[in-house]
Chain A
Amino acid sequence: MVEHQHTTEISGVPTDAYVGEEPDDMEESILESLPISFEMVLLAPSIITLAVLSIIPLVVMISLSFMEVSFTPIEEQIFVGVENYVDMTNDGNFWDAWKATAVYVGGSLSLQLGLGILISVMLHRVIVGENVFTSIVIMPMMIAPVVVGLLWQFMLDPTFGLYTYLMNQIGLFIDQPILGDPNSAMAAVILMDTWQWTPLIVLIILARLKSIPQHLYEAAQVDGATGFTQFRYVTLPLLKPAIAIALLLRSMDLMRYFAKVFITTGGGPSNTTKIIGLYLYEQALRFFNLGYGSAAGLVLLAVTVLMGLAFVETIMGGAGDDE
């Protein structure tokens, strides 16, 4: 199977310029006669669903981003051109939100990825108990973020939280609540998300680890690779696609979701954990600034897409467009 990855008739219907001995064109199958391929037919329902559910809101978002929408005393939309975008660049809170997001997303991604790789490699290595440990490790992602936020708020409360108590035992946070200081609050929300979502990265990477053929390791051992070098030069490169998918998935959700931050810090103290998702939520759903919110939403979408592209291109070397 060297030269034949191409298996479809996408390259077109034969021209049949030469008339053969006994032409028998009657039985052209229905699929062949369709203007699109069988694969496209299968893909079409998904594409249509996604198009309807994503392109329509996108079009609305784009059009609203050039409007000012007000509801009182009556609903009206006024075309304001790029005013929303200009306002955005002048809005200190918008930029602060991006700064907080950079820390939050950067911190969470690196921590979760590091831990995720470590845990999955350990799970892959461990000789007994893999099942038990895997079952335990994946639990947090099964709990709704709303409840996770409340749970952590409960654990971090300065007067009765278990973690506050444990911290106090080692002399930390006695006069300073964990969520009351910008640095520790940011660290706390990052840890919360790490607690909940590292399992997803573990799952994706563990699966990939298990599919790495054993002979590759054996070959590496013959070449004298041990422990870390083997991991560095054999395992890690093979994990790249899985890492890219994990990063892609986590980065888009870190940008969009904010429930835990909303519940625990509300964006504070001093706006230091007001991540872009939360900022956008306030603009769009709370204050119903539909025009401005749409503009900010488009910026968020653009940044997410660029990030996604970066992950896909640099790590995976293309959108999984293998061979």
Chain B
Amino acid sequence: MSKANQSTALPKSVRRYGPLAVLGLVAVWTLVPLFWMFLSSLKIRRSMFEFPPTIIFEPTLRYYQDMFLGANPVTPFLTNSVIVALGTAVLSVGLGTIGGYGLSRLDLRGKKPLAFWIISTRMAPIVVVVIPLFYIYNALNLLNTHIGLIIAHTTFNLPFAIWLMRSFFDEVPVALEEAALIDGATKWQAFRKVSLPLVLPGMGATAIIAIVFSWNDFIFALIFTNNATQTMPVAASQLVTQTGTLWGQVMATGVVILLPMVTFGVIVKRYLVSGLTMGAVKQ
């Protein structure tokens, strides 16, 4: 209902179909590489390099077979990626939620610099900090462990999680918590039983973004893991071999990396946008 109200001076047909046309173009721009990736993952190597490119060909599933049933199946790497991404999401959203709440409700003169410091910890160049972290990790026996990688990914997810969660909590009226305090809640209960349920969609959105960043990380995963704990991006990079890029496997890997995220994304997309919105809470 809200959309139709935003009348403009443009003719009705433009108003109605203009956005669709723009989005159609965007969808094409977005999908062409993905579609090409998918097609190429079904082509035997030679037909991948045909010029002009072909759309009709005899598909093969060998790269997928190779990935899952071959000598070096990617399943463990996929599992690693999932474990690390979920672990990171839990840790960043967990800490980010209570931290974001604290930051939102904090009444302190230095709040602004503190908030900026928090986000600025995400700005450090990974390629440099990874070296001292490597020493620390080595000393703490965190190398080649899932938890080590989860902690590393938390470094770049937590600051953003705190900021996002803080913005959600900012939207929750303080009076709700006060009402709870008067109703007999402790501060923790007011947070836990009143504010927290209200930012659940926000937590979902934050988790998804954390998962995306963790899922995509390369440098930490490269330096801090060995074969047993490496993640999909690192596994994908190995397809660039000394004697040529294994394009078929690269494309199939792309599809395999994308699919779970898209499925997941479609399921939780509602949270993603409405979670980032939070308009409903404010009265």
Contacts and interface: CB of A to CB of B under 8 A. Distances in A.
A308 B99 contact: no
Interface on chain B toward A: helix, strand, loop, or mixed SS?
Answer: helix
Contacts of B107: 6-8, 10-11, 37, 39
A150 B240 contact: yes
B224 interface: no
B59 to A, nearest CB: 17
B215 interface: yes
B102 A146 contact: no
Nearest to B20: A126
A173 interface: no
A200 B108 CA distance: 31
Nearest to A199: B30
Contacts of A123: 19, 23
Interface in A13-63: 31, 37-47, 49-50, 53-54, 56-58, 60-61
B49 A53 contact: no
Contacts of B247: 150, 154
A280 B127 contact: yes
Contacts of A290: 131
Contacts, number: 322
Interface string A146-186: 11001110110001101001000000000000000000000
Given A137-B26, A152-B33, A312-B116, A46 B95 contact: yes
B23 A49 contact: no
Contacts of A1: 173, 175
B193 interface: no
Given A8-B107, A146-B237, A155-B33, A135 B262 contact: yes
A50 B237 CA distance: 29
Q: How large is the interface on B (under 10, 10 to 19, 20 to 34, 35 or more residues)?
A: 35 or more
Interface string A127-142: 1010101111111111
A112 B237 CA distance: 27
A208 to B, nearest CB: 8
Contacts of A214: 2, 5
B131 A146 contact: no
B222 to A, nearest CB: 9
Interface string B38-59: 0010000000111111000000
Contact of A61 (B96, B128, B239): B128
A50 B30 contact: no
B61 interface: no
A213 interface: yes
Contacts of B136: 56
B185 interface: no
B127 A281 contact: yes
B233 A146 contact: yes
Given A37-B106, A142-B212, A211-B278, A49 B132 contact: no
A227 interface: yes
Query: Which of the listed residues A31, A39, A228 has the most CB atoms from chain B within 10 Å of its own CB?
Result: A39
B84 interface: no
A139 B112 contact: no
A75 interface: no
A219 interface: no
Given A136-B30, A226-B7, A280-B125, A122 B23 contact: yes
A235 to B, nearest CB: 9
B174 A49 contact: no
B132 A56 contact: yes
A259 interface: yes
Nearest to A11: B107
B30 A137 contact: yes
Given A159-B49, A259-B218, A50 B279 contact: no
A319 B276 contact: no
B202 to A, nearest CB: 9
Interface in B201-227: 205, 209, 212, 215-216, 218-219, 223
A266 to B, nearest CB: 12
Contact of B233 (A8, A144, A308): A144
Given A40-B106, A259-B218, A138 B258 contact: no
B200 interface: no
A293 B128 contact: yes
Given A203-B272, A290-B131, A256 B125 contact: yes
A300 B158 CA distance: 21
Nearest to B159: A50
B111 A118 contact: no
A165 B53 contact: yes
Given A122-B22, A151-B251, A160-B51, A285 B130 contact: yes
15 contacts: A38-B187, A38-B188, A42-B99, A46-B98, A53-B121, A129-B23, A143-B216, A147-B250, A160-B51, A207-B205, A255-B123, A255-B125, A256-B126, A284-B127, A320-B166
| Smallest CB-CB A-B distances: 3 pairs | A207-B276, A227-B8, A46-B99
Given A126-B20, A151-B33, A217-B6, 13 more contacts: A10-B107, A11-B107, A39-B103, A46-B118, A61-B129, A122-B26, A136-B27, A137-B26, A146-B237, A147-B253, A284-B127, A297-B128, A300-B125
